[in-house]
Amino acid sequence: MLSARAFLDPAFVVAPVPRRLFGSFVEHMGRCVHTGLSEPDHPTADEDGFRGDVLELVRELGVTTVRYPGGNFVSGYRWEDGVGPVDQRPTRLDPAWRTVESNAFGTDEFVRWARRAGVEPMMALNLGTRGVREALDLLEYANHPGGTTLSDLRVRHGATEPHGIRLWCLGNEMDGPWQLGHKTAEEYGRLAAETARAMRQVDPGLELVACGSSSRTMPTFGAWEATVLEHTYELVDMISAHAYYQLVGDDRASFLASSVDMDRFIRQVVATADHVGARLGSDRRIDISFDEWNVWYLQELMASSTEPREWEVAPRISEDAYTVLDAVVVGSLLITLLRHADRVRAACQAQLVNTLSLIRTEPGGPAWRQATFHPFALTARHVSGAVLDLRVEAPTLATEAHGEVPALDAVATHDPEAGRLVVLAVNRHPEEAMSLTTNLRRFGARGLAEALVLADDDLSAANTQDEPDRVVPREHPRARVTDGVLEAELPPASWSLLVVEVG
**Active site members:** 173, 292
Are 481 and 445 a contacting pair, CB within 8 Å?
yes
Please list, residue by residue across 4-43, b when 16 or more beta carbons sit within 10 angstroms of its beta carbon and e when fewer do.
bebebeeeebbbebbebbbbbbbbbbbbbbbbbbbbeebe
E strand or H helix that includes residue 382: helix 373-382
DSSP-derived secondary structure letter, 295:
E
Count Cβ atoms below 10 Å from residue 268 Cβ, excluding itself: 16
User: Which has the closest alpha carbon to 347: 67, 110, 127, 71?
Assistant: 67
- The residue among 302, 297, 303, 290 whose CA lies nearest residue 261 is 290
CA-CA-CA-CA torsion for 34, 40, 45, 47, nearest 10 degrees?
120
Separation of alpha carbons 351 and 336, rounded Å: 19
Cα–Cα distance list, 16 to 121, 133, 265, 412 (Å): 22, 37, 21, 12
CA atoms of 78 and 101, how far apart (whole Å): 11
CA atoms within 13 A on the CB side of 326: 27
CA 412 → CA 210, 383, 385, 421, distances in Å? 30, 8, 10, 7
Sign of the CA dihedral running 424, 425, 430, 433: negative
How far out from the chain centre does Cα 153 lie? 32
Task: Report CA-CA distances (Å) from 13 to 144, 263, 387, 413, 445.
Answer: 40, 18, 6, 9, 18
Helix (H, G, I), strand (E, B) or coil at 432: coil
CA distance 416 to 398: 38
